[in-house]
């Protein structure tokens, strides 16, 4: 899954050996990238700027669906957690700073070919770009959370509130579009109905304040069943990123609804005057001038429901269901199993998941707690994405380093 805020990776991870410690800090980061059509090797080559051979493009085009999903997510964070009464406290408080960026959407197979090969494959044909949507969203947030444990420690709940800073927005929604190229390449016929949004272009540095907003999150865990049974059951429910960003009034909105027959530029109509070229169509004549105004973007909201069964020994397993809105991802079903050493200094969790952007994935997570103060959590959303990148779709790495004191 390309965007998975459900992990709550930004929170400090308390070692199970922790005794009498009130404070914990953590630093974390993750990235995820996936598509139900684009392979990992192709995505890596494109990101690194490596030359992509024609054969590779052809192989990739043969994998395309009529409508294809893509999602990319990256974040880093620092956080601090405080327990007023150490291990006996019913309360826990967290403050975190998070920098987050995501790109997601859907695109037609013809849109992919136009992007990587131009219109040469469409001589005498029509390229269809209907229902192509892409969003690039970059924001920062200061997040406050309070966690409450019931006196019997069977249930805990977290509620969080975040103040958001919108740094950058780019979004294109192509409702209908087609491009016909004459067989001899002498003319183009374009028909389109689309909208393009982008945030204020005058402020582009890291942390630039082009918008602001708020968001909420909620988590709930409860132990189920007979407390005397050697098998323990845990039910988890999470809602993440209920919020929005309102972009400032200098944001730009382009609305395109046009039909165009283009035969090129007559060289005799180009006049050179004081270094200026005239007679060439500009962007305003093709897509219209931008309108300035406020834009509202909803965050990609995530919901998770998970069931976990802990055995009397050192193993556990479970199943969860996840869904997202506003980001064109499919619902996801995951099955997982885990093991830990007898002293709980090391644990490993793996499983299989289907859905999101990448369809089939095989996640892997390890937790290492060498002492009562330090813990490390690391893993990948799809381990086979690194073993056979040319045959797989979906990749991602995450890490959390926590220190208690």
Query: Residue 3: is its pLDDT beyond 50?
Result: no
Question: Minimal CA–CA distance to 317: which of 279, 343, 351?
Answer: 351
Q: Which residue has the higher pLDDT, 376 or 7?
A: 376
Q: What is the distance between the alpha carbons of residues 108 and 113, in angstroms, rounded to a whole number?
A: 9
Handedness of CA 326, 328, 330, 332 (dihedral sign): negative
Q: What pLDDT, on the 0 to 100 scale, is given for residue 284?
A: 57
End-to-end CA distance of the chain: 34
Question: Minimal CA–CA distance to 301: which of 243, 341, 250?
Answer: 243
Q: What pLDDT, on the 0 to 100 scale, is given for residue 274?
A: 46
Query: How is residue 182 written in tokens?
Result: 């004459």
Query: Residue 334: is its pLDDT beyond 90?
Result: yes
Q: What is the distance between the alpha carbons of residues 92 and 219, in angstroms, rounded to a whole number?
A: 13
Q: What pLDDT, on the 0 to 100 scale, is given for residue 391?
A: 92
Q: What pLDDT, on the 0 to 100 scale, is given for residue 162?
A: 98
Express each pLDDT in 36-75 by its tens digit: 999 999 999 998 999 898 889 999 999 999 999 999 999 9
DSSP assigned state of 17: T
Q: What pLDDT, on the 0 to 100 scale, is given for residue 103?
A: 95
Determine contact, residues 128/84, Cβ cutoff 8 Å: no
Which stretch of 87-101, 127-141, 231-245 has the lowest confidence by average pLDDT?
A: 87-101
User: Where residue 359 falls among pLDDT bands split at 50, 70, 90?
Assistant: confident
Express each pLDDT in 270-328 by its tens digit: 555 444 555 555 555 556 678 899 999 999 999 999 999 999 999 999 999 999 987 88
Q: What is the distance between the alpha carbons of residues 254 and 359, in angstroms, rounded to a whole number?
A: 34
CB-neighbour burial class of residue 398 (10 A; exposed 0-12, middle 13-18, buried 19+):
buried
Look at strands 211-224 and 232-247 and give their pairing: antiparallel
Strand ranges for 314-386 from DSSP E: 315-324, 330-340, 346-356, 359-361, 364-368, 374-380
CB-neighbour burial class of residue 311 (10 A; exposed 0-12, middle 13-18, buried 19+):
exposed
Strand ranges for 109-251 from DSSP E: 126-128, 132-149, 155-181, 188-198, 211-224, 232-247
Q: Percent of the chain beyond pLDDT 90?
A: 72
Q: Is the pTM of this model over 0.85?
A: yes
3-state secondary structure at position 284: helix
- Tell me the pLDDT of the chain averaged across its residues: 89
CB count within 10 Å of CB 231 equals 11
Altogether, the residues listed in the chain come to a count of 405
**Helix (H) or strand (E) segment spanning residue 76:** strand 67-82
**Helix (H) or strand (E) segment spanning residue 57:** helix 54-63
Q: What is the distance between the alpha carbons of residues 193 and 259, in angstroms, rounded to a whole number?
A: 9
Cα 356 to the chain's mean position, in Å? 10
Q: What pLDDT, on the 0 to 100 scale, is given for residue 207?
A: 87
Express each pLDDT in 118-174 by its tens digit: 988 999 999 999 999 999 999 999 999 999 999 988 999 999 999 999 999 999 999
**Helix (H) or strand (E) segment spanning residue 271:** strand 271-273
Task: Give the chain's domains with CATH numbers.
Answer: 5-404 (2.40.160.40)
Look at phi and psi of residue 37 and say left if phi exceeds 0, alpha if psi is from -120 to 50, else beta.
alpha
Return the bridge partners of 246, or none: 212, 296
Residues 6+ apart with CB under 8 A from 313: none
Query: Residue 108: is its pLDDT beyond 80?
Result: yes
Q: In the chain, count of helices (H) and strands (E)?
A: 5, 22
Cα angle vertex 218, ends 214, 224, to 5°?
A: 180
Q: What is the distance between the alpha carbons of residues 287 and 260, in angstroms, rounded to a whole number?
A: 10
């Amino acid at each position: 899954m390309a965007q998975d805020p459900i992990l709550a990776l930004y929170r400090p991870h308390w070692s199970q050996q922790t005794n009498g410690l009130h404070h914990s800090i953590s630093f974390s980061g993750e990235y995820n990238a996936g598509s139900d059509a684009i392979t990992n090797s192709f995505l890596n080559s494109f990101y690194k700027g490596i030359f992509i051979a024609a054969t590779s493009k052809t192989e990739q085009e043969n994998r395309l669906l009529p409508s294809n999903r893509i999602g990319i997510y990256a974040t880093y964070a620092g956080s601090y957690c405080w327990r007023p009464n150490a291990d006996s406290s019913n309360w826990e408080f967290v403050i975190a700073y998070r920098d987050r960026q995501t790109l997601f959407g859907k695109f037609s197979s013809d849109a992919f070919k136009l992007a990587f090969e131009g219109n040469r494959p469409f001589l005498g044909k029509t390229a269809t770009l209907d229902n192509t949507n892409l969003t690039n969203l970059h924001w920062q947030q200061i997040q406050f959370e309070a966690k409450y444990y019931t006196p019997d420690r069977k249930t805990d709940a977290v509620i969080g509130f975040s103040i958001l800073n919108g740094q950058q927005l780019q979004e294109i929604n192509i409702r209908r579009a087609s491009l016909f190229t004459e067989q001899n390449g002498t003319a183009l016929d374009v028909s389109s109905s689309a909208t393009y949004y982008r945030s204020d272009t005058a402020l582009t540095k890291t942390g630039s304040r082009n918008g602001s907003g708020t968001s909420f999150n909620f988590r709930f865990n409860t132990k189920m069943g007979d407390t005397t049974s050697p098998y323990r059951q845990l039910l988890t429910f999470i809602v993440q990123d209920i919020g929005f960003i309102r972009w400032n009034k200098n944001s730009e909105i382009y609305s395109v609804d046009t039909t165009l027959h283009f035969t090129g530029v007559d060289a005799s109509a180009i006049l050179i005057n004081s270094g200026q070229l005239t007679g060439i169509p500009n962007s305003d004549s093709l897509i219209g001038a931008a309108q300035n105004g406020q834009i509202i973007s909803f965050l990609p909201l995530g919901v998770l429901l998970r069931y976990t069964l802990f055995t009397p020994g050192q193993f556990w397993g479970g199943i969860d269901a996840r869904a997202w809105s506003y980001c064109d991802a499919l619902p996801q079903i995951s099955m997982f199993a885990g093991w830990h050493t007898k002293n709980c200094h090391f644990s490993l969790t793996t499983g299989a998941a289907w859905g999101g952007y990448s369809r089939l994935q095989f996640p892997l997570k390890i937790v290492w707690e060498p002492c009562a103060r330090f813990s490390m959590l690391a893993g990948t959303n799809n381990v086979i994405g690194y073993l056979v990148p040319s045959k797989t779709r979906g990749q991602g790495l995450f890490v959390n380093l926590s220190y208690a004191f």
